[in-house]
């Protein structure tokens, strides 16, 4: 992990441990609530791993705090400004693609705003989110393929799509140029704990 990724992993681990302990939960109890293995949770809390977005969603949902709160410490102000370069990079590719969570709201109805950059060949697959989740996506540069429940849609710069996030879906860069898109995710009722079983080791 690079320095910024490592610092983010440590911050996330600290927040997970703090939230778990404030509920009086053991690691085994959190593992049962999330469907994530105890070994993975230990690595997350120690900041020793860069967990997948799916794993972070399971943990944040079980803790009832939402993904934005998990990756950013609470601030005592109603207005939160994220400056350029300050978002939480939660996905990256070997070729230089990045998925950055730049803003989010608090529970129970969580909205996440993402800035994605993908280079040709990059693909990110996402498991089904909690029931009722919706996603909105607009392409700023390049072309991307969005696959929702097995159906593919090719989007060019300026195109937008809305789709249910509670089915399997993926994004991928197509063509020869890098692609950039904004993604908004609406997840109602965070903390209900109704995610499908995890497969993370």
- Tens-place pLDDT, residues 8-31: 888 899 889 989 998 999 999 999
More confident residue, 107 or 56: 56
| Nearest residue to 130 via CA among 24, 58, 68 | 58
pLDDT confidence tier of residue 73, bands split at 50, 70 and 90: low
What pLDDT does 192 receive? 54
The domain defined by 88-187 carries CATH number 2.40.30.10: no
- Above 50 in pLDDT, residue 198? no
- Above 70 in pLDDT, residue 117? yes
SS3 at position 200: coil
Can you identify the CATH homologous superfamily of domain 3-71? lambda repressor-like DNA-binding domains (1.10.260.40)
- For 197, the enclosing helix (H) or strand (E) is none
Write the pLDDT tens digit of every residue in 38-71: 999 999 999 888 888 889 989 998 998 888 888 8
| Dist CA 110 CA 173 (whole Å) | 27
Q: Where in the chain are all domains bearing CATH 2.60.120.10? A: 88-187
**Which residues fall within 8 angstroms of residue 81, CB to CB, at 6 or more apart?**
none
Of all residues in the chain, the percent with pLDDT exceeding 90 is 57
The runs of H, that is alpha helices, within 2-91 are: 3-22, 27-34, 38-45, 53-63, 67-71
**Is 90 in contact with 105 (CB distance < 8 Å)?**
no
Q: Where in the chain are all domains bearing CATH 1.10.260.40? A: 3-71
């Amino acid at each position: 992990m690079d320095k910024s990724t490592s610092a983010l992993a440590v911050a996330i681990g600290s927040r997970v441990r703090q939230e778990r302990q404030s509920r009086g939960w053991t690691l085994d109890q959190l593992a049962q609530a999330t469907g994530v293995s105890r070994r993975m949770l230990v690595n997350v809390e120690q900041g020793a791993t860069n967990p997948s977005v799916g794993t972070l969603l399971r943990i944040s949902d079980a803790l009832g705090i939402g993904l934005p709160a998990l990756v950013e410490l609470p601030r005592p102000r109603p207005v939160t400004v994220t400056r350029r370069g300050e978002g939480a990079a939660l996905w990256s590719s070997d070729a230089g693609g990045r998925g950055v969570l730049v803003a989010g709201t608090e529970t129970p109805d969580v909205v996440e705003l993402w800035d994605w950059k993908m280079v040709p060949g990059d693909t990110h697959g996402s498991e089904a989110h909690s029931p009722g989740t919706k996603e909105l996506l607009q392409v700023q540069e390049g072309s991307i393929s969005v696959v929702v429940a097995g159906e593919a849609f090719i989007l060019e710069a300026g195109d937008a799509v809305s789709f249910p996030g509670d089915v399997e879906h993926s994004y991928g860069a197509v063509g020869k140029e890098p692609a950039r898109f904004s993604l908004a995710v609406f997840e109602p009722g965070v903390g209900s704990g109704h995610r499908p079983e995890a497969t993370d080791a």
